[in-house]
Structure 1
Amino acid sequence: MDIVKSKAFVYVCVTVWCGLSVIYMNKDSFKQPFVNISQSRLFTFLHRWPNTTNSDATSGPLYLKEETLRKGAKYNVSTFADANTSYIYLKQNATYHQGDLILVQIDLYDAQGTRKKTGGDFLRVWMEDPKTSTSVSGQVSDHNNGSYSAAIIAVWAGHGRIRAFIATRREEIVYYYKIYEQYTSLWPAYADFRKKGSNLTGQSTCSITVPGDETAGHWCNFTLENNGFPWYCLKPSNKQLACHMWTYSFSGLSFTFKLNSSEDSVTRWSSKDPQPDILQRFVDVSIATADTASTLPLNQVACNKLPPYITWQRKSPNGFFHQDKWHSLLCHDTLPRTIDAYRQCLKGRTLWLHGDSTSDQFKRSLHSILRFQSHANGHMPVTDTDWVYGFSVSFQPHEFPFYHGKSHYPRSSNQAQHIMLDRLPNTTKDIVVLYMYVHFTLVHPDVFRRHVRRLVPSAKNLLARASHVTLAVRGPHAFFRSSKGLLSYWGLHYADIWHQEFASLRDKIVYLDFWDLTTAKTHYDFHPLMKTVHEMVHHMMSLLCHRK
């Protein structure tokens, strides 16, 4: 390679690094072992890893800006990005060493084979070796011209296959944002009313907003009962039914508003089989090892001694799967995967798992591991206690907007998480995991921010008065597809909101980052497979148990 070509090559490499929004480091940096790192050096060491923070303007946003969403988009299925015609290819050679950074590029084309000229499509990239049940997520960057770059760490030796998935198209995101602004919510919510002592019943629709002052008198205001968050339901058409006769809540599982044929085709993408949206083309790489280890050595700092602020650093990848077990790159898991270890961790405490059905999955996982009886009943709040070993695990669905589905739940089922924080005594030794996500993907992101922001003063107050409490925030997880409108695309945006609103508490609260874990281990539904939930739960326990 002559001097001119060498300079051009260097320029392209630097540009790619900036575009990926990662902190530059040379390859030797990745080859350094994850052993014998003291806590005093840990912060500096972790800053050498790629960072998900999108700080460079040349790379484009990780998610679409609001001004872009407001402009709208044309809903022509023939011009959508197509996995059959799109390409993924290596930026370098196909042979690497363990610890190297692997760079790939994805160029999107539509079904007619025409190159896409705009960004905004949401891609996920991962590398896997099914033979050893090994996988790791890649960090994707949008170049705003139809091309995307991804960086992947070669964390194991052997074979790796790099796959890309068109998770959400630009047109979907823009259309759903339009619905947020026009209809407030993607799915309908309902209230049951019943007059006591009679068979008189009625139903009405509910919303986080009242659609116009002229109809304000026709709505029941349940904001106070929703712990200060807006919640309104239309007054029943039967005048004998009053607002205080609200008894149950339920919801639809899809859209109720009218769609034209183009809009309907857009909304179907979020619930169709994801397999056709995994690029047919893939990249195979060979990874050599510098020693006898099959994977990178792990960090020797115990997870329960990892400073909380490190868990908020958003280094990617923060771990990988090997033989179907999750291995954190941030810390060393010293918690045995045994019943006794979990019981000792929880003894004399309650583990609070507020949230939605994915929080209930955590609770069910713990019951299967700890082998004590569960009294769970859908979205009903429940606290189960193991009286022999002296601990409890509690689940309660968060406040509205909460979409219960076809089952009808009592009006008292939902409670804001800040209320639970405020009620804990000063002497508590409990473990509290704050979590909101899936149900909020059905409403405008500003609604999510409002609910997260309200948690901050209660969290600060609890930490100031209860010195033995352990507090954590569980971040969003990735999934392929689900019911109409449920897009994990919003997960990256919501992770940013958690980080922004809780910035003042990062040295006291642990952040449970499961995005890389659920990107490396792909899932169809927003409910991860239970074997993956077991890995999520164990990583959570390794970080939170015996933390001082």
Structure 2
Amino acid sequence: MKPTAVFFGLNIVVISVVVTSWYCVVYKYDQNPSFRHVGWPNFTLHKRKAATYTEVLRQNIATTIFQNIPESDYAASVSKAFLSTYKSYLSIKSVTDLKRIASNTSSTQSLGLNKSVYSLGDDIKVHIILFDGYGKRLTQGGDILRIWLTGTSQKTRVNGYVIDHGNGSYIGHVRALWTGKSVIKTSIAATKEQIASVIKYIEKHGLMHDMVGGFKNNNITERTLCSVKPNVFGLSDMCNFTEENYGLHWFCGTPRNPKLKCQDWKFTKGAYTNHLSETERTIARVHKHMLLQKSPTITITGGTNYVPSPDLPCYTRPINETWHEESPVGFYYKGKWHQRGCKNTFIPSKISYENCLRNQYLFLIGDSNIRSWFDHIQQKADMVIPENEKGQKGRRWFSLRRVVREDLNFTLVWAVHEQPFYSGEDSPREMIKSVAWYIDRIPNMKKVTVVLHNILHFARITPSEFREHIRDVKFAIGRLFKRIPGARVFVKGPHSVTYVGFLIPLDFIRKIHEQLFYEEFMEFHNKIIYLNEWDLTTCIENVNVHPSIVTVGDMVDKFMSYLCEA
């Protein structure tokens, strides 16, 4: 595999984990004098130690679901305790009678204070009791609920949080952050049966959805199943491509044709196929995001229209606060997103983008949900990719993208992460590199900013495997900070997805991922900014895997408020 370089000797570097649809120019690092290999043998984060299953579940394992989760963790913007529930979900027995699952039509909700008028700033409590399809009250917890408040005016919304008491009863919390009439909405976002069936499948097979490896030698071709685990799907003879995947587990079945060898591996491809049973598939598709009936209507009174953001610009906010916020981190009022922990002073105009991004190198790494950031910033900064440049036409959607504005000395780059990467089409092995590979090849520059977003593709693997990927990135970030102490790094957190065909119980998985990021990046909490996108997308009831252009703009504006001085 011959490496490809994408970095140049600019004065400012910004790296973000993003996936976009723009073209890119491919460069060979050995042809670029400003590009060099990086090695830091004495740096404390250089060596990566494999995490064991026990280590992944190093919190005290609860004997009953959520018994040991503190109430503060339900309210936390970044979870710190949900890994302790993982083993409990694995112990849940499969169900055949779907009416035994929590039902939105039978379950009830009522206002905690039995009143309908609240004051601006109040914490509104809602009592929720779950019943199954037979009308029988549930006596165990584990179902994950959502609660959010919607105003009567367009796009006036805020997310809340729900505390599980472990006995079928829950307490929902939403903040009264604007005045006027509003409606409280509650949904059963992920039933424990959905969570259990999906994570047990992933633990067994390594991946939620199938991936294949393509082998070719002359005119002979073959495709075999791949996974982060060996010996899956009855395959006893596997090609170990862990080294090819930059030290991160990757295995594909050995071709049956004796004329094809492991070294003939040419590409991978992801699919949405899986091997769930019909009952499990029904649970994963239907028994989730079920809105409870009879949503309470309330009135909020106060001397102002809404609760304003604090008089603290986001770019001056202590970085470690972003890891310790309480949900909601912000809210929409008449279509505008307001931060609760700081004030967004960034004005999303062309001039503001140009002033902020001047002399910067911005690198976005991840999947297609960070690629949309690339598109947005490229358009806002009025950047044009020359049509006659090599590599700009006929590119694959996952090809590395690079665009430059010479007058601003600003370079914008996007690249995808390592396997498992679901491309939906044949992706040549040499085009898929690790996040750490890219970070290690950033040339020494005055300023660097990194934004990481490796979420949805990795929501299909086990927590132990995801920890390995995050740890690999952590070591690379540590090496980056050693080379460039002023480098800036962002983590773009998960966003809400309620699309019926998305089988992953994201309301559970996102908390696991949050905790893994929190733990693995703990030593860098004062240098890495965590961007919570969950509250922003949950309250607007986002459906699709890819949020709307407007929502992407709100996300980018929030990121820019931390990056740019007003």
TM-score above 0.5, yes or no: yes
Is the contact made by 2:102 and 2:131 (CA closer than 8 Å) also made in structure 1? yes
Matched residue SS, 2:91: helix
Contact between 1:125 and 1:163, CA under 8 Å: does it hold in 2?
yes
Looking at structure 2, the residues matched to 433 and 331 of structure 1 have their Cα atoms a distance apart, in angstroms, of 20
Asked whether the equivalents of residues 253 and 483 of structure 1 are also in contact (C-alpha less than 8 Å), the reply is: no
Aligned ranges for residues 300-311 of structure 1 at < 5 Å? Answer: 300-311=311-322
The whole-number CA distance in structure 2 between the counterparts of 1:426 and 1:372 is 24
Verify the 8 A CA contact 2:89 2:192 in the aligned structure 1: no
More relative contact order, 1 or 2 (CA 8 Å, 6+ apart): 2
CA gap 1:215/1:174 in 2 versus in 1, 3 angstroms:
closer
- Distance (Å, rounded) in 2 between the aligned partners of 1:301 and 1:283: 34
Mapped partners of 2:539, 2:247: distance in 1 = 38
Q: Is the 8 A contact 1:128 1:134 kept in 2?
A: yes
Residue aligning to 1:77: 98
Cα distance in 1 for partners of 2:306, 2:149 equals 14
Return the letter of the residue paired with 1:295.
Y
Report if aligned partners of 1:473, 1:511 keep a CA contact under 8 Å in 2. Answer: yes
Query: Which amino acid in 2 is paired with 1:96?
Result: Y
5 Å-filtered alignment, 1:248-287, equals 248-255=267-274, 257=275, 259=277, 261-269=278-286, 274=289, 277-287=290-300
Q: CA 1:67 to 1:146, structure 2 compared with 1: closer, same or farther past 3 Å?
A: closer
Do the aligned partners of residues 456 and 308 (structure 1) sit closer, same or farther apart at CA in structure 2, a change above 3 Å counting? same
Q: CA deviation at 1:63?
A: 7.9
CA drift at 1:390:
2.6
3-state SS in 1 of match to 2:153 = helix
Q: Given residue 527 of structure 2, which amino acid in structure 1 is its aligned partner?
A: K
Q: Deviations over 1:237-293 (max 9, x none)?
A: 2222222222221122121x262x4334223337x8x5xx1112201110001x2x2
Task: Give, in angstroms, the shift of residue 481 of structure 1.
Answer: 2.8
The Cα of 1:532 is off from its aligned counterpart by 0.9
Say which SS state the counterpart of residue 486 (structure 2) adopts: coil
State the Cα distance separating 1:369 from its structure 2 match. Answer: 2.4
User: What is the DSSP-based 3-state SS (H/G/I as helix, E as strand, rest coil) of the residue aligned with 1:84?
Assistant: strand
Q: Does 1:439 align with 2:439?
A: no
3-state SS of 1:87 partner: strand
Return closer, same or farther for 1:130/1:449 CA change in 2, 3 Å cut-off.
Answer: farther
Give the aligned partner of residue 324 of structure 2: 313
- Number of paired residues? 488
CA distance in 2, matches of 1:71, 1:393: 47
Alignment partner, residue 499 of structure 1: 518
2:309 is equivalent to residue 298 of structure 1: yes
CA contact (8 A) 1:304 1:545 kept: yes
Evaluate the alpha carbon distance shift between residue 436 and residue 308 of structure 1 in structure 2; reply closer, same or farther with a 3 A threshold: same
Q: Distance in 1 between matches of 2:343 and 2:197?
A: 43
Residues 206 and 228 in structure 2, CA contact (< 8 A), matched pair in contact too: yes
Contact 1:77 1:265 in 2 (8 A): no
After the TM superposition, which of the residue ranges 500-509 and 387-396 deviates more from structure 2?
387-396
**Residue pair 1:303, 1:334 contacting (<8 A) in 2 also:** yes
**Quick check: 1:62–1:142 contact (8 Å CA) kept in 2?**
no
Instruction: Return the alpha-carbon distance in structure 2 between the equivalents of residues 71 and 53 of structure 1.
Output: 26
| Structural mapping, 1:26-175, within 5 Å | 51=76, 64-92=85-113, 93-175=115-197
Deviations 1:486-507 (A, max 9, x none): 3312101111111111111111
Letter of the 1:161 counterpart: V
**In structure 1, distance between residues paired with 2:286 and 2:463:** 21
For the 8 Å contact 1:98–1:287, the answer to whether it is kept is yes
Percent identity between matched residues is 28
Residues in 2 aligned to 1:386 and 1:130: alpha-carbon distance in whole angstroms:
43
Distance, in Å, in 2 between the alignment partners of 1:119 and 1:459 is: 38
1:207-356 matches, cutoff 5 A: 207-211=227-231, 218-255=237-274, 257=275, 259=277, 261-269=278-286, 274=289, 277-289=290-302, 291=303, 293-356=304-367
Unaligned runs of 5+ in 2: 1-67, 386-391
Partner of 2:492: 474
Q: Aligned equivalents of 1:546 and 1:520: distance in 2?
A: 28
Between 1:153-162 and 1:340-349, the stretch displaced more is 340-349
Change in 2 beyond 3 A, CA 1:75/1:358:
farther
Cα distance change, pair 414–130 in 1 and its aligned pair in 2 (3 A): farther
Q: Answer 1 or 2: which has greater helix percent.
A: 1
For residues 19 and 288 of structure 1, the distance between their equivalents in structure 2, rounded to whole angstroms, comes to 34
Q: What amino acid is the match of 1:488?
A: L
Partner SS, residue 64 of structure 1: helix
TM-score, structure 2 normalization: 0.81
Conserved 8 A contact 1:379-1:396: yes
Instruction: For residues 481-534 of structure 1, give each alpha carbon's deviation from its aligned partner in whole angstroms, at most 9, with x where no partner exists.
Output: 353433312101111111111111111111111121112121112222221111
Corresponding residue SS for 1:112: coil
TM superposition shift of 1:361: 1.6
Letter in 1 for 2:140: T
Question: Within 2, Cα distance between the matches of 1:20 and 1:453?
Answer: 26
Partner of 2:71: 21
Q: By how many angstroms is 1:384 displaced? A: 2.0
* Structure 1: stretches of 5+ with no match in the other structure: 1-17, 24-48
Whichever residue aligns with residue 169 of structure 2, its letter is S
Q: Spell out, residue by residue over 1:437-490, the C-alpha distance to the aligned partner (whole angstroms, 9 max, x if none).
A: 101111111111111112222212211221332111122222213534333121
Counterpart residue identity of residue 282, structure 2: S
Report Cα offsets for 1:143-197 as digits up to 9, x if no partner.
Answer: 11111111111110111111011111110111112112222211111112222xx
Q: Distance in 1 between matches of 2:260 and 2:83?
A: 48
Match of 1:204 among 221, 224, 234: 224
Whether contact under 8 Å (1:482, 1:525) holds in the other structure is no
- Tell me which residue corresponds to 1:45: none
CA RMSD of aligned residues (A): 2.5
Indicate how the Cα distance of structure 1 residues 338 and 53 shifts in structure 2: closer, same or farther if over 3 A, else same.
closer
Verify the 8 A CA contact 2:77 2:532 in the aligned structure 1.
no
- Find the partner of 1:383 among 383, 402, 405: 402
**Aligned AA for 1:349?**
Q
Specify the alignment match of 1:6 in structure 2: none
